[in-house]
Structure 1
Amino acid sequence: MKIVSSSRFTGERAWQALDIADFEGTSVRLHWTDQPYKWHINDGQEVFAVMQGRVEMFYRVAGEEKSVMLEVGDIFYASVGTEHVAHPRGEARVLVVEKAGSV
């Protein structure tokens, strides 16, 4: 059993992660960040849930760039092949569920 207080987790660098679980090749990690990530495509599906803060998620559909502002409790699902990048607006904590070892 494990209890995690996401609001207390702070990284020493952007996108630092606290590993919560790893099962059948799927990782569940809590990330702290105050900086954008990089454009990427995951090796599989990704679920990105904002626990604290605000994150603008940019993504491409048929080559066209779009974005959505994610608030606390919002979830972004990236299907296989979805190119995306997260830009926090200030500090943010996000829960990411994805294939273990993914970008």
Structure 2
Amino acid sequence: MKIISSNAFTGSRAWEALSIADFDGTSVRLHWTDQPYIWHINDGQEVFAVMQGCVEMFYRIAGEEKSVVLEAGDIFYASVGTEHVAYPRGEARILVVEKAGSV
């Protein structure tokens, strides 16, 4: 059993992660960041839930770039093949559920 206060987790570098669970090839990690990630496509599906802060998520559909602003409590689902990048606005804590070992 684990009880985790996401508000208390702070990394020493952008996108540092606290592993919460790994099961059936799926990882659940809490990330802290204050810097953008990189454009990427995951090896599978991804669930990206903003726990604290604000993140602008950019994504491409048929080559067209779009974005959505995610506030605490919002969830972004990236289906297989969705190219995306997260840009936090200040500090953010994000719960990510994805295939273990994914980018």
Q: Secondary structure at the match of 1:90?
A: coil
Residue 89 of structure 2 corresponds to 89
Q: Between the two proteins, what is the percent identity of the paired residues?
A: 86
Deviation per CA, 1:35-80: give whole Å up to 9, x if none.
Answer: 0000000000000000000000000000000000000000000000
Give the C-alpha shift of residue 98 in structure 1.
0.1
TM-score normalised to the size of structure 2? 1.00
Instruction: Measure, in 2, the Cα distance between the counterparts of 1:78 and 1:17.
Output: 19
1:4 equivalenced with 2:4 (yes/no): yes
What stretches of structure 1 of length at least 5 have no aligned partner? none
Residue 31 of structure 1 corresponds to 31
Give the C-alpha shift of residue 84 in structure 1.
0.0
Residue 53 of structure 1 corresponds to 53
Instruction: Measure, in 2, the Cα distance between the counterparts of 1:96 and 1:49.
Output: 6
The residue correspondences of 1:11-30 to structure 2 (distance < 5 A) are 11-30=11-30
Tell me the matched-pair count. Answer: 103
Instruction: Measure, in 2, the Cα distance between the counterparts of 1:72 and 1:93.
Output: 9
Q: Secondary structure at the match of 2:77?
A: strand
Give the C-alpha shift of residue 91 in structure 1.
0.1
Instruction: Measure, in 2, the Cα distance between the counterparts of 1:54 and 1:2.
Output: 25
Residue 65 of structure 1 corresponds to 65
Residue 78 of structure 2 corresponds to 78
Instruction: Measure, in 2, the Cα distance between the counterparts of 1:3 and 1:33.
Output: 21
What stretches of structure 2 of length at least 5 have no aligned partner? none
Deviating beyond 3 angstroms after TM superposition, the runs of 4 or more aligned structure 1 residues are: none
